[in-house]
Structure 1
Amino acid sequence: MQDFRCAKCQKLLARYRNCQMLEVKCPRCGQINKLNSVYLTDEAKEITCNKSLAVK
């Protein structure tokens, strides 16, 4: 599992594995945070593809 943190305040937003796309608004600071596997390497895509996450 990998942590998905807010780019602005570093609050933990989710933990994910196998995720192609993820968008979460931070409840602390309001920043919209996006993850898109298009920007990841092939190795990272194997680790992060398919929606399996736990949002707090």
Structure 2
Amino acid sequence: MHDIRCGHCARKLASVNRFDTLQIKCPRCGTINHLKAPSFPPASREHP
């Protein structure tokens, strides 16, 4: 699990296992945080 924190005030916004793209507005400072996963592990790209 990874903690997602605001890039401006460092408030914890979420805990996630996996994500492709994520956009969260911080309730404390109002900053909109854009996050994108660099890549998925090879096992998740293959479909059974």
Note whether the superposition's TM-score is higher than 0.5.
yes
| Structure with higher RCO (Cα < 8 A, 6+ apart) | 1
| Identical positions, percent | 40
Q: Which amino acid aligns with 1:4?
A: I
TM-score normalised by L of structure 1: 0.67
More helix by share: 1
Gaps of 5+ in 2: none
RMSD over aligned Cα atoms: 1.6
* Greater gyration radius: 2
Aligned residues: 42
